Amino acid sequence: MSQGMQAQTTFQPKQIEFDWKGIVYRYENAFDFSLHTHGFMIGYNTGRILTFDKTRYYHFSLGYMRDPRERRQNKNIPLDGMTSKSFTYGKLNSLYVLRAGIGRKKYLSEKAKRKGIAIGYSYEVGPAIAMLKPNYLYLLFTESQNGTQVDDLRAERYTDENADVFLDYSRIFGGTGFAQGWRELTFTPGLQARGGILFSLGAYDKYAKMLEVGIMADVFIKKIPILIETEAVSNKPYFINLYLTLQLGSRSN
């Protein structure tokens, strides 16, 4: 009897544990959407996955940078059928930055499941180009026509010749808008670098979803003239910012 009961004992097979981090893709491509302390940038990354926890990538981006001393304002006054647009007093140029770089990402957390958040870090370095677009303002000039004083509105950028008018607040009507000045771009080369901590959702999935926070620096060969320099205001050749990046993309073989 006891032998029959023993023969009926059931043994449960051991559950198989899948180690998803063994599934490694070879390539990763993703778009960046970043906010930083004094602006924003959009970028593209293409990388080679070296091991399950290491990726080498190339970065390309275009961003906008403002000076923290800038203050936009609007007089909200009508003139000859026009309404004044917002402007920044004392602004000489708008700064856009082209960046390229080579970098690495490394994950620190071991994950036994495909889903979950992996923590790691990244760093990159490469060239940067500052693109300066002249800032235009509508300025008020008074002309005499047939013995009558007439206001004339002109779109002008800052020069030594019109400095007194450009900096006379009472003669500024407003800004000219985004389109003015693109044909007069000037370029200044430099270097850029950044490093941060990353949080990847499904780091070994087909689709890349990552959030990154860190610090970035841009250094150029000369001062970048965003504002008109005075005794109290000076420009600088470098910019240091904190950044937050959302990255979305895919991985493939």
Domain spans of the chain? 25-252
Amino acid at the residue 1: M
* Phi, psi (deg, nearest 5) at residue 19: -95, 90
Class of domain 25-252: mainly beta
Say whether pLDDT at 148 is over 70.
no
**Predicted confidence band of residue 122 (pLDDT cuts 50, 70, 90):** very high
3-state class (DSSP) for residue 164:
helix
pLDDT(68) > 90: yes
Per-residue pLDDT tens over the stretch 172-225: 999 998 899 999 999 999 999 999 999 998 777 888 899 999 999 999 999 999
| CA dihedral sign of residues 114, 120, 125, 128 | positive
Please compute Rg for the chain using Cα positions. 29
Judge whether residue 46 has pLDDT over 60: yes
Specify burial of residue 13 (Cβ count, 10 A radius: 0-12, 13-18, 19+). Answer: exposed
Q: Which two tokens stand for residue 36?
A: 């930083």
Query: What's the pLDDT score for residue 34?
Result: 97
Give the whole-angstrom CA distance, residue 253 versus residue 240.
37
Which residue is listed with tokens 């390309």? 60
Q: Which of 231, 220, 212, 173 is nearest to 34 (CA)?
A: 212
pLDDT of 1 higher than 60: no
| Rounded percentage of the chain residues whose pLDDT exceeds 90 | 68
Read off the tokens for 48. 């080679």
pLDDT recorded at residue 80? 72
pLDDT category of residue 112 using cuts at 50, 70 and 90: very low
- What is the C-alpha to C-alpha distance for residues 164 and 170, in angstroms, rounded to an integer? 11
User: Hey, what's the torsion of the CAs at 116, 117, 118, 119, to 10 degrees?
Assistant: -160
Name the nearest CA neighbour of 137 among 159, 122, 107. Answer: 159
- Provide the pLDDT for residue 241: 97
Query: Model's pTM, two decimal places?
Result: 0.85
122, 103 Cβ separation under 8 angstroms: yes
Q: Is the dihedral of CA 188, 194, 198, 200 positive or negative?
A: positive
Question: In the prediction, which pLDDT does 23 show?
Answer: 55
Residue 20 confidence (pLDDT): 47
- Give start and end residues of each alpha helix (H) in the chain: 2-7, 163-166
Confidence class of residue 143 from pLDDT cuts 50, 70 and 90? Answer: confident
